[in-house]
Amino acid sequence: MCGIVAAVGNIDPEICRKMLARIAHRGPDDTGELGISNIWLGHQRLSIMDVEGGRQPLADQAESAFVVANGEIYNHTELRAQLSDVEFGTGSDTEAALHLLRLHGPAALPRLRGMFALAFALPDGGFLAARDRLGVKPLYWARRPDGVLFASELRAFEPADRPAVRSFPPGMYWTPETGLVRFADAVPASLREPPARPIPWQRVTRQVRETLVASVEQRMMSEAGIGVFLSGGLDSAIIAAIAARWMRANGRKLPTFAVGSAGSSDLVAARLIAEWLGTEHHEIELTEANVLEALPEAVRVIEHYDPSLVRSSVPNLLLARYTVGHVHAVLTGEGADELFAGYSYLHEPPFTEPTALHAELVRSVSELHHLNLQRCDRTTMAFGLEARVPFLDRAVVETALSIAPEDKLVRPGAREKQLLREAFAGWLPEEILWRPKEQFGDGSGAADVLNAAAKELLTRIHEPIASSPDVRLRDESESLYYSLWRKELAGIQVADTLGMFATT
């Protein structure tokens, strides 16, 4: 996991170096840069795979192609086997992507399984930028009169360039010759309509279990330690159960990390799960003092002012700060509620109708990169911690959306995510397996602590709270977050933030 900057055109390299320095937190282990033809590539490295040899920008043996990448290519071992005639110089997963792109160009992109944002260059000036199909990894770009800039975070860009910054769309690549081209959809066209016939329940639960187990195990690759963010809810508990089983089989103990206020139901549940699984468990207690300190930082880090996003980011930020002292990568439960209809609003009209429910699940999965995945990436990468999201593996997404929406509805005698619960019967304590879903702020006790901290912060602000004719600020807390956001990211267009930036 890393931070990248790239430029195409006649852009001053010193601008690019300053951009890279602004995202040094994403990769504290190393810095690399390369200027070739009219292209500049920069990389801040967080060493996870091939710690010794995976330095970027990465070149092939003949220095005929170069790449910088942020993310992980989980099927790199399979790709290496398919490229049996290629001489590999490192054990880095990124090198598989480099050779595949060198040999096949943009046609290589659909073969990459994982989360990535990358920039690829050739000595003759050939260039390609791309982002994974779900947008798990961030990428932004800005057009200037003298060229095009790319970076992992908004804050990387010069203030003068920020009004032109846009989110690079997931599942697309760009070259100077072709412009934007789609290489993959977040949800394949064949799955955008509900399945015609329900699959037998037992077969469905087995498919879900086997696919998710494979996804977690694929994401256990790390030379720098890996753990699980354990919220106390069903989704992270399932991830922890699979990861703990894999760790035991490999003679190791899984580290788990939980956050909440003293005595909160999430902390109690996480402790129970950890004891059941035999993990090396760590807890962070939320207090008004540490939340007050983290609140402005959360707004700056996530580059957003949405109240629900800010409130959920504060505990994650505190947890990530602690966790990076123990491991360099964690698994999280992002995506499960969108795939298996976990949110309470999905069990109210109009989503009690199967077709409407399926359409909403497809929409919410396709737009995860706007909010939840942005929070997940920023709060962890603020401290050089890599977050991996097993529920959003391509095979898991396709399996989940091939399930009839009728099987995800809450009926008498059934709970939300009934299918997921039954798929992992016996893997967790019964009281966890059937624990009702709570909003993160409620279960962790964060909501009360955050509200108190926001009120305290408001009393300390001696400048006017910001307002804007372009956006409706719903309450005083949101106005406070907006003030902090606008101060940090001067120049970003307010209208763009409403959809987390236009995609073209």
Q: Is the distance from CB of 388 to CB of 330 less than 8 angstroms?
A: yes
Length of the chain: 504
Establish whether 93 is an annotated binding residue: yes
Rounded Cα gap, residues 115 and 389, in angstroms = 9
Q: Is 376 a catalytic residue?
A: no
DSSP letter (8 states) at residue 162: G
Q: What is the rounded CA–CA span in Å between residue 29 and residue 68?
A: 15
| Helix/strand/coil for 431 | helix
Do β-strands 386-388 and 329-331 pair in parallel, antiparallel, or remain unpaired? Answer: parallel
Q: Is 165 annotated for ligand binding? A: no
d(CA 434, CA 422): 9
Q: Which of 262, 418, 454 is CA-nearest to residue 340?
A: 418
Q: From CA 362, how far away is CA 380, in angstroms rounded?
A: 26
Say how far apart CA 99 and CA 112 lie, in whole Å: 12
Sheet with 329-331, edge to edge strand ranges: 280-286, 255-261, 226-229, 329-331, 386-388
In Å, what is the CA distance from 389 to each residue of 72, 149, 335, 382?
11, 28, 8, 17
Distance CA 125, CA 212 (A): 41
- Which residue bears the tokens 């190791």? 252
- Could you please report the per-residue DSSP string of 270-334? HHHHHHHHT-EEEEEEE-HHHHHHHHHHHHHHHT---HHHHHHHHHHHHHHHHHTTT-SEEE--T
Please choose, from the candidates 367, 339, 372, 409, the residue with its C-alpha nearest in 3D space to the C-alpha of residue 191.
339
Alpha helices in 59-141 (DSSP H): 76-82, 93-104
CA atoms within 13 A on the CB side of 387: 33
Point out the catalytic residue in the list 2, 16, 330, 387.
2
How is the beta sheet containing 58-59 ordered, strand by strand?
58-59, 66-73, 114-121, 127-131, 172-175, 179-182
DSSP reduced 3-state for 502: coil
Give the 3-state secondary structure of residue 101. Answer: helix
Give the Cα separation of 56 and 220 in Å (integer): 22
**Residues annotated in the binding site for L-glutamine, as ranges?**
93
Active site residues: 2
Annotated binding residues for ATP, as ranges?
259
